[in-house]
Amino acid sequence: MTVREALEWAGAQLQAVGLPEPLREAQALVAACLGWERAQLIAHPDALLSARHARRLHSWVRRRAAREPLAYITRRVWFYGLELMVGRGALIPRPETELLVEVFLGWAANLPPSLRFPPLREGNQPDSVPPASRGNLKEGVACSPILVDAGAGTGTIALACLMHAPHWLGIGIERSRRALRWAQANRRRLGLESRLLLIQSDWLHGLRAGSVDAVLSNPPYVLPDEWDALQPEITRYEPKSALLTPADDPLRPYRRIARGARCALRAGGLLAFETSPRLAPLLAERLPAWGFRQPRIVCDYAGIMRVVWAIRE
């Protein structure tokens, strides 16, 4: 089978099951299956697929036709200019979450110079987490500001922020062991082992008081009454525990994170959440009572309320 034939066959299979963009998805599958860039498909339409590649493509197309998300099949997803690895057990990073990274980077750029460009000090250890959990965070950077990604999933938010804020260190906290494995793989792939500590824990439990500068989180925020309207790619394959918030207390994850952040953040530190348009106004209203001033709601490019952030008093 040639590349052209593979594209036609895969496109036809995906069209037959009613996927909205069969050609684009066929290109993505054939390119990933061969380990090529998409442009190479156009440049080499007559190249032959090996028997191994053809078998893999058949299996991948069958999985996609059963509505498994493309990112779980190819194990790759783009987020804020980074190619990340993802698979079953971890939420697939979404473009909406890039706004949270932008809010952090905008806030961090306006910090006083002493925090933006801290002096390096030899022989010290970051002290946000107890010594036993410090893992491989680089020594000699005790003055670097520290961000926390609460519910890190594949490490998405922390990794993107650290790539663009080179003086910062990060702590990624995640409850799911499977998700944490993807975060570890991404941290290694991006060479951030010395700047990002990954911990399996329950939200901010165990962080030292006043030891971090920013807490960022995209917690589960889908309400049970919204579940049935979601695509089958989400409801059949992505972890429910990464998506659903309780109907009787939808702000529970936010309240728990805010309570931990109230303790772990230094005064003047940032707390920023991704959320839904239904929860954003409620969250902004509650933040002052939880110890955070000047709550602000930021809309995404579609005009949808997406990020709520505030400053620790």
Binding interface with ligand SAM (CB under 6 A): 91, 93, 97, 151-153, 156-157, 173-176, 179, 202-203, 218-220, 241-242
Q: Which is nearer to ligand SAM, 11 or 253 (CB)?
A: 253
Nearest approach, Cβ of residue 43 and ligand SAM (Å) = 33
Nearest approach, Cβ of residue 179 and ligand SAM (Å) = 5
Q: Which is nearer to ligand SAM, 61 or 98 (CB)?
A: 98
3-state SS, the chain, equals CEHHHHHHHHHHHHHHCCCCCHHHHHHHHHHHHHCCCHHHHHHCCCCECCHHHHHHHHHHHHHHHCCCCHHHHHCEEEECCEEEECCCCCCCCCHHHHHHHHHHHHHHHCCCHHHHCCCCECCCCCCCCCHHHCCCCCCCECCCCEEEEECCCCCHHHHHHHHHCCCCEEEEEECCHHHHHHHHHHHHHCCCCCCEEEEECCCCCCCCCCCEEEEEECCCCECHHHHHHCCHHHHHHCCHHHCECCCCCCCHHHHHHHHHHHHHEEEEEEEEEECCCCCHHHHHHHHHHHCEEEEEEEECCCCCEEEEEEEEC
Q: Which is nearer to ligand SAM, 170 or 219 (CB)?
A: 219
Nearest approach, Cβ of residue 256 and ligand SAM (Å) = 7
Nearest approach, Cβ of residue 172 and ligand SAM (Å) = 8
Q: Which is nearer to ligand SAM, 57 or 261 (CB)?
A: 261
Q: Which is nearer to ligand SAM, 9 or 237 (CB)?
A: 237
Nearest approach, Cβ of residue 148 and ligand SAM (Å) = 11
Spatial contact of 125 and 142, defined as CB atoms under 8 Å apart: yes
Q: Which residue has the tokens 């944490």?
A: 180
Nearest approach, Cβ of residue 4 and ligand SAM (Å) = 36
Q: How far apart are CA 41 and CA 104, in angstroms?
A: 38
Nearest approach, Cβ of residue 72 and ligand SAM (Å) = 14
Nearest approach, Cβ of residue 39 and ligand SAM (Å) = 28
Q: Which is nearer to ligand SAM, 31 or 159 (CB)?
A: 159
Q: Which is nearer to ligand SAM, 27 or 201 (CB)?
A: 201
Q: Which is nearer to ligand SAM, 144 or 218 (CB)?
A: 218
Query: Residue 138: which of 192, 98, 101, 84 has the closest Cα?
Result: 192
Spatial strand order of the sheet with 292-299 comes to 196-200, 169-174, 146-150, 212-217, 265-274, 305-312, 292-299
